[in-house]
Amino acid sequence: ESEREKEGGEERREKRVEEREGGKMGSDKRVTFRRRHSYATKSNKIRKVKTPGGKLVVQYERKRGKVPRCGDTGEKLNGVVCSRPHSRMNLSRPKKTVSRAYGGTLSGGALRDRIVRAFLIEEQKIVKKVLKSQKAAAK
């Protein structure tokens, strides 16, 4: 008798699931695009979402943003928000830059290298000038 009750309970549970899913064959997974663009391209990715009313509708996915990279080294820039170019236009300044020369364009290490290189080049120029003046004084 207990087995019969269990079977009856299972049948009732299955019936409830079928009603919820919309019929005996299972729910229909087909959806239509909301926009006129109908090709499966990178810019037309969709996600199927069940609404509270039980309808299956399409939501369009936005493209993932990328973290800006250093122009010299190619490493990811710290302190700059990952975003798409058009949405980056609307971001506030602190999210787009770091408070440093070339902040948001070059990484700290690359900038340090540039500064050191510029300093050494200037030093070299000074040394050349001094040597030239010493040579002229010796003549």
Q: What is the pLDDT of residues 41-92, one digit of tens each?
A: 999 999 999 999 999 999 999 999 999 999 999 999 999 999 999 999 999 9
Number of domains in the chain: 2
Closest to 79 (Cα-Cα) out of 98, 59, 52: 98
Position of tokens 């004084």?
137
**Is residue 133 one of the residues assigned to a domain?**
yes
**Is residue 39 one of the residues assigned to a domain?**
yes
More confident residue, 42 or 24: 42
pLDDT tens, residue by residue, 91-116: 999 999 999 999 999 999 999 999 99
8 Å CB contact between 113 and 102: no
Beta bridge partners of 80: none
At residue 137, what are phi and psi to the nearest 5 degrees? -70, -35
Task: Answer yes or no: do 92 and 47 share one domain.
Answer: no
Q: What is the pLDDT of residue 28?
A: 79
Q: What is the mean pLDDT of residues 9-13?
A: 62
**Is residue 70 one of the residues assigned to a domain?**
no
The SS3 call for residue 125 is helix
| Model confidence at 35: pLDDT above 90 | yes
pTM above 0.95, yes or no: no
Q: What is the mean pLDDT of residues 11-19?
A: 59
Of 60, 77, 104, the one marking the end of a domain is 60
Domain that holds residue 6: 1-60
Q: What does the DSSP 8-state code read for residue 44?
A: G
Question: Cβ of 11: how many Cβ atoms within 10 Å?
Answer: 10
**Is residue 6 one of the residues assigned to a domain?**
yes
Distance CA 52, CA 50 (A): 7
CA separation, residue 76 to residues 37, 46, 73, 116 (Å): 34, 29, 9, 22
Q: What is the pLDDT of residue 139?
A: 77
Distance CA 120, CA 109 (A): 16
